[in-house]
Amino acid sequence: MRYSAWQIFSKAFKPASAWAPIWREPDPKPAYDVIIIGGGGHGLATAYYLARNHGLTNVAVLEKGYLGGGNIGRNTTIVRANYHLDGNTEFYSHSLKLWEGLELDLNYNLMMSQRGIINLAHSDGQMDFYARRGNAIRMQGDDAELLGRDAVRAEYPYLNHDDPRFPIFGGLRQKRAGTARHDAVAWGFARGADMRGVDLIQNCAVTGFRIENGTVRGVETTRGPILAGKVGMAVAGRSTQVADMAGFRLPIETHVLQAFVTEGLNPILPGVVTFGMGHFYISQSDKGGLVFGGELDFYNSYAARGNLPMVEHVCEAGMAMWPAIGKARMLRSWGGLMDMSMDGSPIIDRTPIEGLYFNGGWCYGGFKATPASGHCFAHLIATDSPSPHATKLRMDRFETGHVLDEEGTGAQPNRH
């Protein structure tokens, strides 16, 4: 069914014709052309573009829990294309362009809101760096604007502008950045893939691989073996565990990242703001809650919940940037498993096993990447050649030294 204003209107007058579930619940078939492991944003987007762009519909997405229960439903929903390095700039630029047409393409309301982002600067050095980064973004064809003190103060008068430790010197703005409703993104891609014939199989954990003479033949699952000509991994924080099952190692570590939301408040925060002297980012949801996050919990873990010292650390950064935030009551906090790569940038590539493809290393940034990740991964799986938008997101950059280290912190995943 195509969603439209007419559908809403007509259903109001025909209550008997209820809204149908937006995807089927099929049992797994014995074999598929392509299996995607992981029903998060990236796995579902990959399945969608395999069917939509490459006509591959004998495809299954295998999800160990429920669709959208991983990071895609846990993030702080920030979408932007303000990266600095070749390799990342073209990929995230492609993603933002896909976001801009995605609701029409999927015929699904993703609550995409291009409300803009401002990265605050607190020193002359940081202003210089943002000027450089802004130039790189503009050379890629995206928008970036360097704002002075007065411009930031006019837009966000209540921030801690004259703080003696972290005075606000200005900021870098991207107007086309913003937020989208995270779980709707999973549901929209799921619906689009299901409508084209892809089987979305929930409660089906992959427990091993069938590999013969270095070529993948299928997977073992909690619902029995399933054969496939090609298999794509898109399991985010579980990447290293699933790669272990196939017998290879990844340049990735898993860390916990927490996020927080306050009680609903009247509209006060028009866009997304990031603090430049600590890791803190905040926006206001359409329901009024202030949604914010900060740094990783700094230790490796597969437990999708964090610890109290990081709650304190994040709230301290928030208070330094915007002291009045201390009056808001925090409603909830939660955690997700981040697949932190050694240079902070993602990987979309083949693996040492023929027919097995890898998508991961998304660090903090995989939500904004969702459409381009699916688009490029589907291209790689279908054509066996990298998408022109993702040629530098290769696994072997860690051997050759062509790393994409935006933060310049070296091979220390928790610092990216």
Ligand X SMILES: Cc1cc2nc3c(=O)[nH]c(=O)nc-3n(C[C@H](O)[C@H](O)[C@H](O)COP(=O)(O)OP(=O)(O)OC[C@H]3O[C@@H](n4cnc5c(N)ncnc54)[C@H](O)[C@@H]3O)c2cc1C
Query: How many other C-beta atoms can be found within 10 angstroms of the C-beta atom of residue 20?
Result: 8
Question: Least distance to ligand X from the beta carbon of 269, Å?
Answer: 15
Please give the residues from 348 up to 377 whose contact with ligand X meets the rule CB under 6 A: 362, 364-368
Q: Is 315 in the site for ligand X (CB under 6 A)?
A: no
Half-sphere exposure of 405 (CA within 13 A, CB side): 16
Question: Least distance to ligand X from the beta carbon of 187, Å?
Answer: 12
H or E element that contains 259: strand 252-264
User: Which position among 23, 34, 35, 41 is part of the footprint of ligand X (CB under 6 A)?
Assistant: 41
Single-letter amino acid, residue 199: D
- Cα Rg of the chain, angstroms: 21
Binding mask 107-146 for ligand X (x = CB under 6 A): ----------------------------------------
Q: Is 43 in the site for ligand X (CB under 6 A)?
A: yes
Cβ-closest position to ligand X = 40
Question: Least distance to ligand X from the beta carbon of 401, Å?
Answer: 25
> Which residue in 233, 227, 224, 194 sits closest to 211, CA to CA?
227
Q: Is 301 in the site for ligand X (CB under 6 A)?
A: no
Q: Is 403 in the site for ligand X (CB under 6 A)?
A: no
How far apart are the C-alpha atoms of 349 and 214, rounded to whole Å? 17
Q: Is 200 in the site for ligand X (CB under 6 A)?
A: no
Stretch that binds ligand X, among 62-70, 120-128, 159-167, 350-358 (CB under 6 A): 62-70
How far apart are the C-alpha atoms of 366 and 360, rounded to whole Å? 9
Q: Is 269 in the site for ligand X (CB under 6 A)?
A: no
How far apart are the C-alpha atoms of 349 and 385, rounded to whole Å? 9
Question: Least distance to ligand X from the beta carbon of 74, Å?
Answer: 5
How far apart are the C-alpha atoms of 206 and 150, rounded to whole Å? 54
User: Which position among 23, 42, 294, 358 is part of the footprint of ligand X (CB under 6 A)?
Assistant: 42
Q: Is 65 in the site for ligand X (CB under 6 A)?
A: yes
Dihedral of the alpha carbons of 242, 247, 249, 252, in degrees to the nearest 10? 0
Phi, psi for 349 (deg, rounded to 5): -160, 175
Please give the residues from 216 up to 255 whose contact with ligand X meets the rule CB under 6 A: 234-238, 242
Phi, psi for 65 (deg, rounded to 5): -115, -125
Q: Is 176 in the site for ligand X (CB under 6 A)?
A: no
The site that binds ligand X (CB under 6 A) totals a number of residues, namely 40
Q: Is 289 in the site for ligand X (CB under 6 A)?
A: no
Phi, psi for 211 (deg, rounded to 5): -125, 125
Q: Is 36 in the site for ligand X (CB under 6 A)?
A: no
DSSP-derived secondary structure for 301-339: ---S---HHHHHHHHHHHHHH-GGGGGSPEEEEEEEEEE
User: Which position among 47, 51, 59, 78 is part of the footprint of ligand X (CB under 6 A)?
Assistant: 78
Q: Is 280 in the site for ligand X (CB under 6 A)?
A: no
Tokens representing residue 165 in the block: 């430790």
How far apart are the C-alpha atoms of 81 and 79, rounded to whole Å? 7
Nearer of residues 336 and 344 to ligand X, judged by Cβ: 336
Q: Is 206 in the site for ligand X (CB under 6 A)?
A: yes
Residue 202 DSSP SS3: coil
User: Which position among 71, 160, 254, 301 is part of the footprint of ligand X (CB under 6 A)?
Assistant: 71
The footprint of ligand X (CB under 6 A) covers 37-43, 62-65, 69-72, 74-78, 205-206, 234-238, 242, 257-259, 293, 336, 338, 362, 364-368
